[in-house]
């Protein structure tokens, strides 16, 4: 049947126009779907390129956030290494007594006070006491502060030696109060009274 149809077309008086029309018809029949597929492919490629660019930008941000997080974590570890837990404070209390004796001074008083807790914020300082804004970010820690009052007696050279040893302690220790005066019992000796503040970072779930 197909052969008879083609033969009739070829022997038709207007076969040239028929062939041209038929050719165009067949060409359009196969060309338009190809154009549609090509257009769809271009749109899909453009979408993929856009998504890829967004993905690359996101990866860049993730890398940046990761580096910032690692920096914060490193800072926190450095800070934690210098803090003093209650057990470490007790140990340091004994060490201070030894340091006083090694400096040839006499211990008159070593009194450890009660500890206090407050919220620890990002970009915070152990000595910060101002009111915080609601917009400031809270961390997952609280700052524990404990005071130790120490009173010793010795000559000026020995007291200075003790203070030098104390300053070499690479821990979060702050001097809250300091008094140095001549001893009322012996004018050749000095009385030193010092308040030491110890700091520790405590996770929120720990009380």
Sheet strand arrangement including 138-154: 106-121, 138-154, 190-203, 173-182
Q: What angle (nearest 5°) sits at the alpha carbon of residue 64, between those of residues 60 and 69? A: 145
Q: 3-state SS string over 135-177?
A: CCCEEEEEEEEEEEEEEEEECHHHHHHHHHHHHCCCCCEEEEE
Q: How many CA atoms lie within 13 A of 207 on its CB side?
A: 0
* pLDDT higher than 60, residue 41: no
Residue 70: pLDDT band by 50, 70, 90 thresholds?
A: low
pLDDT at 27 over 50: no
- Per-residue DSSP letters for 4-16? HHHHHHHTSTTHH
What mean pLDDT, rounded, does the chain reach? 75
- Work out the pLDDT band at 141, boundaries 50, 70, 90: confident
Q: Over 90: is that where the pLDDT of 202 sits?
A: no
CA separation, residue 129 to residues 52, 53, 125, 195, 200 (Å): 48, 46, 9, 18, 16
At residue 136 the predicted structure's pLDDT band, cuts being 50, 70 and 90, is confident
pLDDT band of residue 63 (cuts 50, 70, 90) is: low
Question: 86 vs 89, 98, 112, 116, CA distance in Å?
Answer: 5, 19, 11, 12
Over 80: is that where the pLDDT of 207 sits?
no
Name the H helices within the chain. Answer: 2-10, 15-82, 86-102, 156-167
149: confidence class by pLDDT, cuts 50, 70, 90: very high
Question: Quick check: helix, strand or coil at residue 119?
Answer: strand
Cα–Cα distances (Å) from 24 to 3, 5, 27, 30, 35, in that order, read 20, 18, 5, 10, 15
pLDDT of residue 17: 46
Of residues 116 and 36, the one with the higher pLDDT is 116
Note whether 200 and 85 are within 8 A (CB).
Answer: yes
For residue 88, the tally of other CB atoms under 10 A from its CB is 14
- Residue 43 pLDDT greater than 70, yes or no: no
Of 17 and 138, more confident: 138
pTM of the model: 0.59
- 99-129: per-residue pLDDT in tens? 999 999 999 999 999 999 988 887 787 777 7
In this predicted structure, what is the pLDDT of residue 38? 42
Of the candidate ranges 21-25, 113-117, 164-168, the one whose mean pLDDT is the lowest: 21-25
């Amino acid at each position: 049947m197909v052969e008879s149809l083609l033969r009739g077309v070829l022997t038709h008086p207007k076969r040239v126009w028929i062939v041209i029309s038929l050719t165009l018809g067949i060409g359009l029949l196969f060309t338009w779907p190809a154009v549609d597929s090509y257009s769809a492919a271009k749109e899909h490629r453009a979408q993929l390129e856009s998504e890829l660019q967004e993905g690359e930008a996101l990866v860049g941000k993730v890398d940046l956030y990761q580096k910032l997080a690692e920096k914060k974590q490193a800072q926190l570890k450095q800070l934690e290494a210098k803090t003093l837990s209650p057990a470490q404070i007790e140990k340091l209390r004994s060490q201070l007594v030894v340091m006083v004796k090694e400096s040839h001074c006499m211990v008159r008083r070593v009194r450890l006070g009660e500890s206090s807790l407050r919220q620890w914020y990002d970009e915070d300082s152990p000595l910060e006491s101002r009111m915080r804004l609601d917009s400031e970010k809270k961390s997952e820690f609280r700052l524990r502060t404990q005071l130790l009052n120490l009173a010793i007696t010795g000559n000026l050279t020995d007291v200075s030696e003790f203070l030098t040893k104390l300053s070499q302690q690479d821990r979060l220790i702050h001097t809250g109060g300091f008094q140095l005066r001549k001893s009322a019992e012996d004018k050749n000796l000095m009385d030193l009274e010092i308040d030491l503040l110890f700091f520790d970072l405590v996770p929120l779930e720990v009380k």
